[in-house]
Amino acid sequence: MSLGRVFAPVPSEFFLIASTALLLTIFGLVMVLSATSATAIADGAPPWDAVAKQGVFALLGVPLMFITSRLPLVFFKRIAWPALMIAVAFQMLVYVPGLGVEAYGNRNWIMIGGLQAQPAEFLKLALALWLGYVLFRKQTLLGSWKHVVVPVIPVAILVIATVLGGRDLGTSMILVLITLGALFFSGVKLRLFILPAIAAAIAVAGFAIASPDRMRRIMSFLNSDCLADYYGDCYQPLHGIWGLANGGIFGLGLGNSKEKYDWLPAAANDYIFAIVGEELGLIGCTVVLALFGLFAVGAFKVIRKTDDPFVRIVSGAITVWIVGQALINIGVVLRVFPVLGVPLPFMSQGGTSLLSVLLASGVLLAFARTLPPAGRTSGSASRTSRPASRTSGSASRTSGSAGRTGRARADG
């Protein structure tokens, strides 16, 4: 009995990606509630005020993730160009007076109807889809550097420039990683991949040096005696490290963080991993890292098993984006990297960030549905070999007939 495609079994990669995305989202909602409840009560607001807003985006994003997983592969190829143009137009709204909002020296938000959004988050998914489509169309031409560079590099530079114009270096670095990830998984030659990577590193370093504010934060990160600048740029990194140290192995208990009492800036945003470490300890941090690791395993299985270059390139770019951004965020909290202002995917407070990663997970789930079931490939190969053997037998009989005809003509 056939129940149709709706009830068709899905590969194990689908369950791995979907389950880790849902667990990280739920984990994030719990930690946002814990990290914001104290300051919300101090401001006279309900303790669940922030998590209620985040929950609205979760309730919107999770169904959208599963709806996206049902879309056919051809849809993502057709939407690549329009999605990038719409995302760039949306990003340009940050420069419209009255709509754009500046915070922490960056102009990368918009305010519409009392709701604040970060359009650059949707640029990440749109750029990944566009890069996958263009590089997929150029598969046979990627041996030439001209076809690798044009139009990928000029368009990527223009897209990243719309974010850099708002002085958001962290998001720009993630867009650079997406571009490099797409080039790597497209299978371009190593020498053609290294040149854009070196150019991207030089460009990021140049923009960092050009900004006195960024250079000050980088120098504070390199400062061995950060306590001397406690009330300056070292304030937030020090409190993040102290939060992790207070947690120890088992943590202080859920809701018992001390740093969230307005000691740690951005406790629910960029530094939510510090609250995880303080309340749930090393065990909680290990669980978060394990969930991101399982997400990466599921995504890389999709990359390894697919035969479609478009699926491989887009999946690789999305995986580099989500996993790479998570590692950068955790590295900032551990003081491995300077403060870059990138959120922890699925977990940090921010509706547009959560919505964008859930949509990206839906794209990965749609790609996972295109993978052949286990054992199907070998069976197909064996079935293909049988007609080939019959063809070879027919060819041998034909050659035998031709030989007999030739001998008969020679005897005649």
From 25-34, 91-100, 392-401, the region with the lowest mean pLDDT: 392-401
What tens digit of pLDDT does each residue of 44-99 get? 889 999 999 999 999 999 999 999 999 999 999 999 999 999 999 999 999 999 89
Phi first, then psi, for residue 106 (nearest 5°) are -110, 140
How close are the terminal C-alpha atoms of the chain, in Å?
A: 64
| Distance between CA atoms of residues 14 and 22, nearest Å | 12
Is-above-0.85 flag for pTM? yes
Question: In this predicted model, what pLDDT tens digit does every residue of 149-170 receive, in sequence order?
Answer: 889 999 999 999 999 998 888 9
pLDDT tens digits for range 96-119 = 998 998 877 788 899 988 788 999
Closest CA to 214 of 200, 226, 202, 204: 204
| Contact call for residues 373 and 8 (beta carbons, < 8 A) | no
**Residues contacting 182, CB < 8 A, separation 6+:** 128, 131, 132, 135, 152, 313, 314, 316, 317
State how far the Cα of 170 lies from the Cα of 113, in Å rounded to an integer.
27
- Residue spans of the domains in the chain: they are 29-369
Dihedral sign, CA of 313, 315, 321, 327?
Answer: negative
How buried is 204 (Cβ within 10 angstroms: 0-12 exposed, 13-18 middle, 19+ buried)? middle
What pLDDT score was predicted for residue 411?
A: 44
Alpha carbon 185 to its chain centroid, in Å, reads 14
pLDDT in tens, 280-300: 999 999 999 999 999 999 999
Q: Is the dihedral of CA 210, 216, 221, 222 positive or negative?
A: positive
> What are residue 101's phi and psi, to 5 degrees?
-125, 135
